Chain A
Amino acid sequence: MNYGTLIVISLAYLGILFLVAYLADFKAKEGKNLLSNPYVYALSLAVYCTAWTFYGSVGKAASDGLDFLTIYLGPVISMPLWWVVVRRIIQVSNTLKITTLADFIATRFGKHLGLSVLVTLLSVLGVVPYISIQLKAINSSLTTIAGESYFDSAFYTTIMLGVFILIFTFRTVDSSHKHAGLVAAIALESVVKLVAFLVVGGFITYFMFDGFGDVFSKATPEQLSKYDFDGGMQWPVMLFLSTSAVLFLPRQFHVIVSENSNLNHLKTAMWLFPAYLLVINLFVIPIAIGGENILGDVVNPDIYVLAMPLHTGHKWIALLTYIGGFSAATGMIIISTIALSMMVSNNLVMPLIIKQYDLNRINQKKALFTRRLSVVVILLISYLYFQYVADRFSLVYIGLISFAAVAQFTPVVIASLFWKDVSQRGAKWSLIAGFGIWFYTMVLPSMVEVGLLHSRLLEIGPFGLSWLRPTAFFGLELTNPIVHGTFWALLFNVFFLVAGSLSQEQTAKERNMANFYTEAYKYANDYETQLLWKGQMVYRDLVRVLDNILGEIKTRIEVEAFQQAHGQPMLSNGQVNPQFVNHAERLLTGAVGASSARMLITSISEEEEIELSEVLAILKENQEITRLNHELSANSKELEKKTHALEMANKRLMNLDVEKDDFISTVTHEMRTPLTSIRAISEILYDNPDLTEGERDKFLSTVIKETERMTRLINQVLDLEKLESGKARLQYEQVMISTLIQDCVSNFKGLAVEKNVEITPIYEIHDITMKVDRDRLSQVMVNLLSNALKFSVENSTVEVGLADNPDGGILIWIKDHGKGMDEESLQRIFDKFYQAQDQTLKKPKGTGLGLSITKQIVNMHGGDIWAVSEEGKGTTFYFTVPYPTDVNTTETT
């Protein structure tokens, strides 16, 4: 079979993929989305099985026996945990429109740009070699079938895949948009590689041999002994690595999380995917044993699957095998490249562009171009790596180093989901430590192996420090460098995760996100209201950014949707509704990634935290703008405060105005009553000259009383006004309090006798002299005494008491034995014009101002007045007068 045929077949296969992808996209537009099929989702997860599985498993089995299985047993065994861990990751990611692991980690820690850059760089570092070994696999499968080629087939494969990716992804800027066509193509690839492997496996086992029994019976005892389970240290380590890799390899995170359209699809995936992994390994051991027996050492065990059918001359089987391997490799390359390019463009390139250019110049086209460019660059680097480096390493070793790299993400991700206190510093330290040790203990030794570094490093350690030897860290000598490196890397990783987290307080934003991550289900539906956003942002600015990045139509749709669900996105002052900021940031995250979205938001807003400035020195020029923004918004905040104060003052004034109106209307009303009597009686006197002397006296004395009443009212209104407005000043002088009380009491002697009420003084202290306003305090006593007498029933007593006030000063009380008051009256008794009902006199002679004036005077002395009452038994008024402080006393001498 020649190259021409193979290339045509490869192109035809890719053509079918194109067609499937195209049809799936087309159907998705018609509403029949293949992504809603859980089997498609589950099959797409099998992108986990790469050329490494397809060719490398047999090779690994031939050399190390059962160890090859660890790569698949890890995911199979850990599958039940997916319901806890993966479901939560998907929930969080869907809600926040997170599409990459970098976003997932950075978002949890306040969208720290440094973190997402770190995760991106580490992913690229870990995965590019992995992509390049896929190119290597395609290339060597071609050479196996058609011999050495005269042209660079790997280069053209790379280009074809690049074209495929560019056509079927990134047509819209929204990367949270699911790619139905892409996923359909990947699911198809999973079927193709499985069928191909089962066919070639079945062919070897049942055609070249007579079934499993025959294969094993023809094996030598040494061959079989390789497959005894040895239970070495590599088992737990490898199981852990594969468990992590199946989740956190960029391509895995992409198909599991980003392309998930329904959480329930996980249920199907959780049985179908492990089943797939077990089935695809069914024939690995027979092929390995059979290959060794028939082909022996002449052929690299990695290509037994291809070499066996070729050996028996079954070209069509070999061709099918080639297609299976090709599909395994291309699936991995396509998804890995997409995932990496998303990380690179969102976390490395976009932030630079945002910093470099005016916001108005960042638009959809630029974002898309960035992402497409990233695809090309990543493929190119992978190709170059393949061309100049990959040849020097074994397929499996590169794969395992890659696994060990992504395993360093595991502690951070798990902690972010289950440990609320893990902080940004912890995450950063964890990744740096983990990857540092990873590089030192695994990558460096491999560089020594191919001669890039001197072997002295491994033998005696750097600077002759033997405990720092990369393969025997702290003197721990293990035969397997992957096991050794993984052990140390994870140890340091977890240690620094905990240490970093405990040594740093979380910011409010981080704490907010921590709650969100650890209680993802609770917040899934009202994300906008659950996240804090505090700051100032002009609505127009935000819409301009959204227009630029999402396009005007999409922006308008989103604004309307928000309006229906949560209310106006713009506040009345032109500022953005904080909930809408969260919503917008999420939309931008879907488009340009979490960190870039964060930068876009912060660049148009004034928030409390600006972490970016710490991270990137490039931001210097922007810091000036940020500072100016700060000042501007500080000014506007000040203005807002003053406006608020003014509004409050205005409100107070309006209240006062209403109060004053009420007062005037009550006063005039109170004046009308005596006036009415006076007029009526005057008219009677005028119209009736024939009145008896007794009648005339009665009427005239009433007129006099009513005029007195009016005078009293006028005086009290004026007095109260004087007290309330502060125009009245107290005239302090030394007064013997008991004497003052006695003088007042004696004024009421006549009235007391008339009502047959006895006034009893109870002095607990006698000779107290203090500075008070004599006249005003007398006024208080007279008011309270006249009240007490007015409400007293006949033949009762009124107590007047004087005592020390424990708080300083004196306490005076006046207790009557009247009907008492209800709670409502007690509450309102000091209000102006409030008159207690149900008094013993049908109509009180008072004006309703006496107690208001009394309270004013007591308060001016710095004292308190209150009343205690029991209905049916009487009321007691208490008031205190403290010793005056020098500051507010004006003494008359």
Chain B
Amino acid sequence: MSKVLIVDDEPNILMSLEFLMKKKGYEVFIARDGKEALEITRKALPEVIILDIMMPEVDGYEVCQQVKSGKATKDIKVIFLSAKTKEEDIKKGYEMGADLYLTKPFSTRELMKDVERLIVKQNMQ
């Protein structure tokens, strides 16, 4: 069963994403800030992380960078899901090593397709 980690500090968004991922049959992990996200990532080693950017203390950019530079975690796919829509924010996201950058509000169907695609890709590596 593929593992997905959802990181966001907005409870209602977490709730919706959790519902969607579980319905699809993924094993879902939830983190409400960057620090928690990094801990869970190292322990659970999910295939995909859906990552908010604006969070207290450790922000999404840093989480992504650490994941992508960690030896055991570098192959994990990272999807940014953020309300930051400026071009420079998106650019920065990809610079941190993200595989995808989606802006809020997002289409649930597209997100699901992207998650599935990335899991397949990850499993092939």
Q: Which residues of A contact B (CB under 8 A)?
A: 665, 669, 672-681, 683-684, 687-688, 695, 698-699, 702, 705-706, 837-838, 842-843
Inter-chain contact B12/A687, CB cutoff 8 Å: no
Known: A673-B83, A677-B13. A683 touches B104 (CB 8 A): no
Contact of B108 among A675, A687, A837, A843 (CB under 8 A): A687
Output the least CB separation between B80 and chain A (Å): 13
Chain-A contact segment, one of B15-23, B37-45, B91-99, B114-122: B15-23
- Contact between chains at A679 and B106 (CB < 8 Å): yes
The 4 closest A-B pairs by CB, nearest first: A677-B12, A676-B104, A672-B83, A680-B16
Which residues of chain A have C-beta atoms less than 8 A from B10's C-beta?
A: 673, 676-677, 843
Query: Does residue B107 face the partner (Cβ distance < 8 Å to A)?
Result: yes
In the complex, are the beta carbons of A837 and B105 less than 8 A apart? no
Give the shortest distance, in Å, between B89 (CB) and chain A (any CB). 10
Cβ A683 vs Cβ B109 within 8 A: yes
Roughly how many angstroms separate A23 CA and B18 CA in the complex, as a whole number? 104
The complex places the Cα of A842 from the Cα of B15 at a distance, in Å, of 14
Tell me the chain B residues, 43-75 only, with Cβ under 8 Å from chain A.
56-57
Q: List, in ascending order, chain B residues with CB within 8 A of A705's CB.
A: 12
Within 8 Å by CB of A679, from B15, B57, B105, lies: B105
| B interface residues with partner A (beta carbon < 8 Å) | 9-13, 15-17, 19-20, 23, 32, 56-57, 83-86, 104-109
* B19: chain A residues within 8 A (beta carbon): 684, 695
Q: Report the nearest A residue to B54, measured CB to CB.
A: A669
User: How far is it, in angstroms, between the C-alpha of A706 and the C-alpha of B20 when the chains are bound?
Assistant: 19
Contacts of A842 in B (CB 8 A): 9, 11, 32
B56 adjacent to A837 (CB under 8 Å): yes
Q: How far is the CA of A673 from the CA of B9 in the complex (A)?
A: 11
User: Residue on A with the closest CB to B86?
Assistant: A665
Chain A contacts for B109, CB-based, 8 A? 683, 687
Contacts of B107 in A (CB 8 A): 679, 683
Q: What separation, in Å, do the CA atoms of A838 and B19 have in the docked complex?
A: 27
A-B contact pairs, 21 of them (CB 8 A): A672-B104, A673-B83, A675-B104, A676-B13, A678-B105, A680-B16, A680-B20, A680-B105, A680-B108, A681-B12, A683-B108, A684-B20, A684-B108, A687-B108, A687-B109, A695-B19, A699-B16, A706-B12, A837-B57, A842-B32, A843-B10
- Partner of B23 from the list A676, A688, A838 (CB cut-off 8 Å) is A688
| Number of A-B residue pairs with CB-CB distance less than 8 Å in the complex they form | 64
Across the two chains, which residue of chain B brings its CB closest to A841?
B11
Query: Quick one: closest A residue to B56, CB to CB?
Result: A837
A633–B11 alpha-carbon span in the complex (Å): 68
Chain B residue nearest to A682 (CB atoms) is B108
Q: How far is the CA of A675 from the CA of B16 in the complex (A)?
A: 13
Complex Cα gap A688–B84 (Å): 29
Neighbouring B residues of A688 by C-beta, 8 Å: 23
Query: Which of B10, B12, B16: most chain A Cβ within 10 A?
Result: B12
Q: How far is the CA of A673 from the CA of B81 in the complex (A)?
A: 11
For residue A680, which residues in chain B have a CB less than 8 angstroms away from its CB? Answer: 13, 16-17, 20, 105-106, 108
- Per the bound structure, the CA–CA distance linking A688 and B106 in Å amounts to 17
- Who on chain B is nearest to A669 by CB? B83
Which residue of chain B has its CB nearest to the CB of A706? B12
Say how far A497's CB is from chain B's closest CB, in angstroms.
74
Q: Quick one: closest B residue to A842, CB to CB?
A: B32
Bound Cα distance from A678 to B106, whole angstroms: 10
Considering the complex, give the chain B residue whose CB is closest to the CB of A670.
B83
Which residues of B are found within 8 Å of A672, using beta-carbon distances? 83, 85, 104-105
| Interchain nearest-CB distance for A841 vs B (Å) | 9
Within 8 Å by CB of B15, from A674, A687, A702, lies: A702
Give the complex CA separation of A563 and B116 in angstroms. Answer: 70
Cα A843 to Cα B11 in complex, Å, equals 8
